Structures are given as structure tokens and as C-alpha cells.
Amino acid sequence: TCYQETSNYEKAANLLQKKLLNNPSQHYLRIEIGYNFDRQQKTALAKKEYDIAIEAITSNPSLGGIMGRMFQQNNLLDYAIEAYSKAMRLHENASYEFQIAQIYGEKGEFEKMFDSYIQLIDKDENYLGGVQRYISRYINEDATYSNNIAFKKAILKKSISNPKNAWNELLSWLFTKQKDYGKAFIQEKALFNRNPAYIETVFRLAKIAFENNDTTAAKKSFDFILEKTNFIEEKITAELYLLRIAVKNTTRNSTSLFEKTLQEYGVNRNSLEIQLEFADYLTFKRNNPSKAIEVLEKALLLSTSKFKNARIKLKLGEVLVFTGRFNKALLYFSQVQTQLKNHPLSQQARFKVAQTSYFKGDFKWAKSQLKILKGSTTQLIANDAVDLFLVISDNEPKDSIPSGLLDFAKADLLAYQNKNTEAIAIYSTLAQKYQGQNIEDDVLFNQAALYLKESQYENTISNLLKIISINADGILVDDSYYLLAEVYKNKIKDTEKASEYYQKIIFEKPSSIYLVDARKKYREIRGDIIN
């Protein structure tokens, strides 16, 4: 190689010929001899050596692997495929489909690549996960994309000649990637009908569909689980999601649905998740916190687990904050902190203490709690803690000069209590009164979030653009870019504008926490392969 790199091809040839003379069984040296000719543009001589190397596999199929790799290393991809394929023809236990598939991928021959991967799974289903990882580089969310179509075709062709569960699993995986959860559910049903253990993958699909707002497919999946499972835990989980879907899909009162479900399964330890969900619904959707407190206090009497107790107390505290009963809420949060030290629920409770103190106007105590939480092992809590800490520390009154923080906290509390119109009015007053001061961008951003909640998209966009114009280097600029992109993509359906703001994060804010997501969504809009 050193001789080749310095164009000393004659010395390289002499060295290789000498090695071959001393080791005549090492036929793979023919590849290096041929490559040495290739470097000199002596293609006929090179081909002769490569053909001799390939022919040597006939008498010794085990050479196929090393020769295939050497051809690959020298970018002689067609010869590599020939070496691997010949070895497999001559030795039934040889398996180089993976290498062949990768080569076809390098060559851009995707149909052959998919066929090779399918052939590999047909031989050994243990390769299924690895194949999915590699194939995910070549497909995207667009069902009409040529690679997606070719991959589906390869699966269907093999499923006809040799039916097995792996093909349904792959089709379900592909349809899930394409966000076609209804079609994925058909595959999962087929799998379950052959083996009830596949109830777990039906659950997984149902949850993914729900998280991606395909409530139709999610409902079908959870209804199916409810019908097929005999396990009470699985039934209750399915019921819980069906209740969430019902709440999502209607503005009508769903209280009777919760009550009917609890009547069927009983108000007991098994149905705790439904009781917590019911309390949350009563408080934040129906403005009935007193009924929610009744539900939670009853749940607390039934629970014997300190972890379940903690979850009930956290929810009780949230409801009490909603009603403005801060001191009692703080008592519940503090109990969770004391009873479950160093547990994620304890960290959640500490954040709730900080948030409640902030709503009360006790900024000093809130900051002390948030300072501890900034290093939380739970990333979401750590991020929330940092955000609230910065709001307080950046906007605290200095030298007895009002900064608007007290009124800002009141507006945030009103937003928490779903009193959006009142909160928006206070934000508007603050934006006028403290124009040009530190708090202005925080006010505009929180107001934008409420405008979005109220479907006032033009006002949302206006506020976010103001934030960017105030200070292009401000800490809320990347948040504003991202929210603008999301509004244009999901609400206004203007993908060109959405793409513009995702690009701003990618190129102007490379350290943003939104970078990975922005890059992914930008590529989706462009129809690129998602690497």
C-alpha cells in the first residue's frame, strides 16, 4: 500500500508476487495484485487477477468472506457481490446477505438492497432489529416515496412465497414510520390472532397512535385490546386511554363516562390511574375542583403504597393550587419530598413547591428550590426549573423599582387556572407598561402560548415576531423560531414558512435544544431521507 500511495507500482507488484509465491493458497493476494494494475489503468490485467481470485472460491468457499471484504475495501463493489454470492451458492451455511445488502445500498440499487435484507431475515429472524436500523436510513414518512414503495413490495413478495410473522412485523413497522397507524393495526391484529403474546405490540402501536393524535386508529387498537385481553391491568390501561380519547374528541361533558368506567371496575387500587385522570379532568376541563378533591381524598384512603400516595398527593396539590389554596398544596408537596427523598417524584414535588411559591409571589423561596432542581436527573424537571429560575432572576425588582414580576406571576397563575382571557389582558397591560424592559419578551412569549391555545394564530405569530425583533440574541428567540415553525406547519399548514423557521434554528441557533427536532422536521418537509 505504501508503494502504491507513492506510485511505486513495480515494487508493490514484486512484493505481492513474492508473497503469493511463498503462500500459493492465499488467493486473496490476487485482489491486491489486480488492484495494483488498476492503479496503473491496466484494466485487462486487473480483471484477469480478479477472475482468478473469484475462481479460487470454487475450491475453497470460506475464502468468499475475506475476498468480499477486500473487494469492498478497494471499492470493487460488483466483484465483492460476486465473491459473497458465490460463497453462499457453494456453502449452504454461508450468510453474506447483510454485506451484499450494504453494497447495494452504497451503489444506490435500493430494490436489490431491500431484497437482500428480506432474504437475510428469511434465513434468520434474529436479524430483524438490525435490518430495521439499517433500512430506516433509506425510508421516510412519505408512503409515496420510491424507497418506501420498493421496501413494501419486497416484503409482500416474500410474504406470498414464505408467510411468517416477520413480514407482518416489518409491514407494521413501515406503516408506523409512515404514520399510517390504521394499516399498522391490521398487521398487529394478524400477529395477535396467531399469537396472543403480540398484545404488547398492539399496546405499543395504540400508544404511538394516541401520542401522534390519530385517535381513530388509537381507539380501534384500545377497543381491540379491551375485547381480547383477560388481564385486569391491561383492561384498565385500555379504558384509561379510551377515556383520554373521548375527552380529546369532544367538548361535551365526559364526567358520566369516567363514572361509568369506575363503576364497572370499582373505585379501588387497581383503578387508581383512572381516578387520577378523572380528578385532572374535573379540575382542568370542567372547572370542578371540589369534586376532584373528593375523588382524590377517597383514593388516598384506599392506597397502601407510598409511591401511589405520593402521586395522589401531587395531584391533590395541583388541584389545590388551581383553587388558590396554596398553603395546603405546599403541605402535600412537602410531604412527598419528605417521604420519597431523592426519588423523581420528590423532585417533581420540589418543582411544584417552587412553582406554587412563585404564584404566591415568594420569589426568594422559589429560587432556592429551583437552584437545587437545576441539576435534576429528570431532564424535563431540570429544563422547567431552569426556565422558571431565569424568569425570576432576570425580572426580580431591583432597588425597589417595580419590574412587573408580581403581576406576571399572577397572569401565569390565571393561565394555570384556565382563565385565559383574564391572563391575556394582564399580559397586554404588562407589555405596554414594561416595554423595553427585561420582562417584555417573557410577557410576549407566555401571551403567545395562550393565543395559540385560543386558536388566535395571527396574534401568536405577531407576538413571536416581536420577541425576535426586540433582541435577535435573546434567550427566547430559538423558542420563538420553533413555535413559529410549529404554528405554520400544524395550524396554518404553510410548510414553506415552517421550513424557513426550522432553518433559522439549524443555521442560526446550533446550540438550541430544538436543533435535533428542527433538523428532523425540516428534512421531513423537504422529503429527504431521515438519517
**Rounded CA gap, 109 and 485, in Å?**
35
pTM score: 0.85
pLDDT in tens, the chain (531 residues): 554 454 555 666 566 666 766 666 677 678 877 777 777 778 898 888 888 889 999 988 888 999 999 999 989 999 999 999 999 999 888 889 999 999 999 999 999 999 999 999 999 999 999 999 999 999 988 899 999 999 999 999 999 999 999 999 999 999 999 999 999 999 999 999 999 999 999 999 999 999 999 999 999 999 999 999 999 999 999 999 999 999 998 878 899 999 999 999 999 999 999 999 999 999 999 999 999 999 999 999 998 899 999 999 999 999 999 999 999 999 999 999 999 988 999 999 999 999 999 999 999 999 999 999 987 777 778 889 999 999 999 998 876 667 899 999 999 999 999 999 999 999 999 999 999 999 999 999 999 999 999 999 999 999 999 999 999 899 999 999 999 999 999 999 999 999 999 999 999 999 999 999 999 899 888 875 444
Name which of 478, 469, 404, 472 is nearest 438 in CA terms. 404
Q: What is the pLDDT, as a whole number, of residue 483?
A: 98
**Rounded CA gap, 452 and 449, in Å?**
5
Q: Are 238 and 264 in contact (CB under 8 A)?
A: no
What are the structural domains of the chain?
179-241 (no CATH), 397-468 (1.25.40), 472-531 (no CATH)
Q: Are 436 and 406 in contact (CB under 8 A)?
A: no
DSSP H helical ranges for 26-164 = 29-39, 43-59, 63-73, 77-90, 97-107, 110-123, 128-135, 146-161
Altogether, the residues listed in the chain come to a count of 531
**Rounded CA gap, 150 and 136, in Å?**
13
At 16, list the grid cell. 505481492
